[in-house]
């Protein structure tokens, strides 16, 4: 047997997640991964690298619990929110029997993680306004153990109606976990569902330090849920999911000063987002700009593939969402620095608009 044939069938069939990093590009303006545009500096304070780290570093857990307004027993820290997505599947879904459900267009890792574990992936596309198709979900919920709902949603940028979340939570009670992926919640903090955890023991909230906290390279995320859910996830997590330097920096980012600095960054991003949206609305090749509660903006663009390529060739890297259901012609643009947004707008304004017949 070839090495290829030795591998599990579902792994052979797998397409790995097309992360912004994997897609490459030779840019100097990176607006494709919803990162914070400049680096925040930290110094390491722990020099005990001869020792294994704590599985769940106490200070990080305590600080995150305080920040999120929950009990430390309700918090799990992991290697990014992506590991949280995976741990839920590992702890709750029987391969070949149970299913995961999500509603495209949305974040790509829900399907990648399910497929890696040979867990069926059920999709119920959103309604035209990108809200949940609740009756469609009701028809598909049999055998589903985990439902992922991203809010605000990546890549569309809008919040899921809280009333729809309530209906979904009632529908799933006793059957499935409802996972609210709040990776971008710092850009609209009033919309968090953490206040509902008491009422719904099957609600799980995912968070990350990768976006508003400007630490995508750190790989640190959080799962917030009932203690019972956290205890089950603790059974399947690696013994040392976070290295000592990661825990050290995460604790600093979650100190009162760290949280203040994050809030200042968010305020700045929101101002630049306003500038970017206003600019896009006055750009010929831009047909539609969607409202955003996040640090990125989705726009429908005339001849979007040619525009994407043209900006790529000039070192301005956006994220093409054209392949997602209901997102034909859509590009996602991260809110970068003001200068980066200016460069993107300038390049977009050199593209032909609706009236032009030829691409540049
Ligand atoms: C960025 C992102 C994540 C991943 O966060 P990490 O902590 O970097 O793994 C999860 N969900 C959504 C919707 C994201 O956009």
If phi > 0 it is left, if psi is from -120 to 50 it is alpha, else beta; for residue 232 that is alpha
Same domain, 291 and 280: yes
Pocket test for ligand 1, best of 106, 158, 210 (most atoms within 8 A of CB): 210
- Asked whether residue 277 falls in the same domain as residue 139, the answer is no
Average pLDDT of the residues of the chain:
95
- pLDDT for 164-211, tens place per residue? 999 999 999 999 999 999 999 999 999 999 999 999 999 999 999 999
Task: Please report the pLDDT score of residue 355 as a whole number.
Answer: 59
Q: How far is CA 334 from CA 34, 104, 119, 210, 321, in A?
A: 5, 20, 32, 13, 13
What pLDDT is attached to residue 19? 75
Judge if 248 and 268 occupy the same domain: no
- Residue nearest ligand 1's atom 2 by CA: 183
Give the number of other Cβ atoms within 10 Å of residue 66's Cβ.
15
* 305 shares its domain with 322: yes
CA atoms of 179 and 169, how far apart (whole Å): 10
Structure tokens that stand for 312 in this block: 């790529």
Residue 202 near residue 173 (C-beta atoms within 8 A): yes
User: CA-CA distances (angstroms) from residue 270 to 14, 105, 336?
Assistant: 37, 24, 11
Is residue 148 pLDDT above 90, yes or no?
yes
Ligand 1 midpoint to CA 216 (Å)? 9
Please answer whether residues 330 and 301 qualify as being in contact, where contact means their C-beta atoms are separated by less than 8 angstroms: yes
Determine the residue of 33, 78, 83, 109 to mutate for testing ligand 1's pocket, defined as the one with the most ligand atoms within 8 A of the Cβ atom.
109
Domain boundary among 197, 224, 255: 255
> Is the distance from CB of 203 to CB of 180 less than 8 angstroms?
yes
Question: Residue 49 falls within a domain, yes or no?
Answer: no
Domain extent for 27: 3-36+258-352
How many domains is the chain built from? 2
pLDDT of residue 294: 98
| Cβ atoms of 134 and 166 closer than 8 Å | no
Give, for ligand 1, the residue of 107, 212, 219 to mutate: max count of ligand atoms closer than 8 Å to Cβ: 107
What is the whole-number distance in angstroms between the Cα of residue 34 and the centre of ligand 1? Answer: 9
Q: Cβ(194)–Cβ(225) under 8 Å?
A: no
- Residue bearing the CA closest to ligand 1, atom 14: 183
199 shares its domain with 342: no
Measured by CA distance, the residue closest to atom 11 of ligand 1 is 183
- Residue 299: inside a domain: yes
Give the number of other CB atoms < 10 A from CB of residue 11. 11
Whether 139 and 277 map to the same domain: the answer is: no
- Give a yes or no: residue 229 inside a domain: yes
The CATH code of the domain that includes 86 is 3.40.640.10
User: Are 234 and 338 contained in the same domain?
Assistant: no
Phi, psi of 311 (to 5 degrees): -70, -40
Give yes or no for a cis peptide into 152 (omega within 30° of 0).
yes
Instruction: Verify that 230 and 113 share a domain, yes or no.
Output: yes
Q: Do 148 and 280 fall within a single domain? A: no
- H-type helices in the chain, by residue range? 3-6, 9-12, 20-23, 58-68, 80-92, 109-116, 134-140, 162-172, 227-236, 244-253, 256-281, 304-313, 338-349
* 292-307: average pLDDT: 98
Instruction: Enter the tokens of residue 19.
Output: 């992360």
User: Using a 6 Å CB cutoff, which residues line ligand 1?
Assistant: 34, 80-82, 107, 150, 154, 181, 183, 208, 210, 216, 221
In a domain, 53, yes or no: no
> How far is 21 from 81, CA to CA, in rounded Å?
17
Give the residue among 297, 339, 182, 272 at the shortest CA–CA distance from 264.
Answer: 272
Check which CATH number belongs to the domain holding 332 and give it. 3.90.1150.10
Which residues partner with 288 through β-bridges? 300
pLDDT at 14: 87
Q: Looking at the structure, tell me whether residues 106 and 128 fall in a common domain.
A: yes
Q: Which one of 203, 226, 255 terminates a domain?
A: 255
Judge if 283 and 324 occupy the same domain. Answer: yes
Rounded distance, CA 261 to CA 263, Å? 5
Atom of ligand 1 nearest to the CA of 150: 13
Q: Which of 78, 84, 211, 212 to mutate to test the pocket of ligand 1 (most atoms within 8 A of CB)?
A: 211
For 87-117, b where at least 16 C-beta lie within 10 A, e where not — what string? bbbbbbbeeeebbbbbbbbbbbbbbbbbbbe
Does any domain span residue 152?
A: yes
In the 3-class helix/strand/coil scheme, how is 298-345 assigned residue by residue? EEEECCHHHHHHHHHHCCEECEECCCCCCCCCEEEEECCCHHHHHHHH
Q: Rounded mean pLDDT of 140-147?
A: 98
- The confidence band for 359, taking pLDDT boundaries of 50, 70 and 90, is very low
For the segment 320-335, the average pLDDT, to the nearest whole number, is 96
Which one of 223, 255, 287 terminates a domain? 255
Do 243 and 272 reside in the same domain of the chain?
no
Q: Whose CA is closest to atom 12 on ligand 1?
A: 183
Assign 360 a pLDDT band (cuts: 50, 70, 90). very low
Residue 43 lies in a domain: no
Confidence of residue 353 (pLDDT cuts 50, 70, 90): confident
Prediction pTM value: 0.95
Q: Is the separation of the CB atoms in 166 and 197 below 8 Å?
A: no
Residue 51 lies in a domain: no
Looking at the predicted structure, is the pLDDT value of residue 15 above 60?
Answer: yes
Q: Is position 162 within any domain?
A: yes
Q: What is the pLDDT of residues 18-59, one digit of tens each?
A: 777 777 777 899 999 999 999 999 999 999 999 999 999 999
């Amino acid at each position: 047997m070839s090495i290829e044939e030795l591998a599990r069938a579902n792994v052979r069939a797998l397409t790995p997640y097309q992360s912004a990093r994997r897609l490459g590009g030779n840019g100097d303006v990176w607006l494709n991964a919803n990162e914070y545009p400049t680096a925040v500096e930290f110094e390491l304070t722990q020099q005990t690298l001869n020792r294994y780290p704590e599985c769940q570093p106490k200070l990080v857990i305590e600080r995150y619990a305080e920040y999120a307004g929950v009990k430390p027993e309700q918090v799990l820290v992991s290697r990014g929110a992506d590991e949280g997505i995976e741990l839920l599947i590992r702890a709750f879904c029987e391969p070949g029997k149970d299913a995961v459900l999500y509603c495209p267009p949305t974040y790509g890792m829900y399907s990648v993680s399910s497929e890696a574990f040979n867990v069926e992936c059920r999709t119920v596309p959103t309604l035209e306004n990108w809200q949940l198709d609740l009756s469609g979900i009701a028809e598909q919920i049999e055998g589903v153990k985990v439902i992922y709902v991203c809010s605000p949603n990546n890549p569309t940028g809008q919040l899921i109606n809280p009333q729809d979340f309530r209906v979904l939570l009632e529908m799933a009670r006793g059957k499935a976990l409802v996972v609210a992926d709040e990776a971008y919640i710092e850009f609209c903090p009033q919309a968090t569902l953490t206040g509902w955890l008491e009422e719904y023991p099957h609600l799980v909230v995912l968070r990350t330090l990768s976006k508003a906290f400007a630490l995508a390279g750190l790989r640190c995320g959080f799962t917030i849920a009932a203690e019972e859910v956290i205890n089950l996830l603790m059974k399947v997590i690696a013994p040392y999911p976070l290295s000592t330097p990661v825990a050290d920096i995460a604790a600093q980012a979650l100190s009162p000063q760290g949280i203040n600095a994050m809030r200042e960054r968010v305020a700045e991003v929101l101002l630049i987002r306003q500038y970017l949206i206003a600019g896009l609305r006055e750009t010929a090749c831009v047909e539609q700009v969607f409202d955003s509660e996040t640090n990125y903006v989705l726009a429908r663009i005339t001849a979007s593939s040619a525009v994407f390529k043209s900006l790529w060739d000039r070192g301005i890297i956006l994220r093409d969402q054209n392949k997602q259901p209901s997102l034909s012609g859509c590009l996602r643009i991260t809110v970068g620095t003001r200068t980066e947004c200016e460069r993107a707008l300038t390049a977009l304004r050199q593209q032909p608009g609706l009236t032009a017949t030829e691409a540049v």
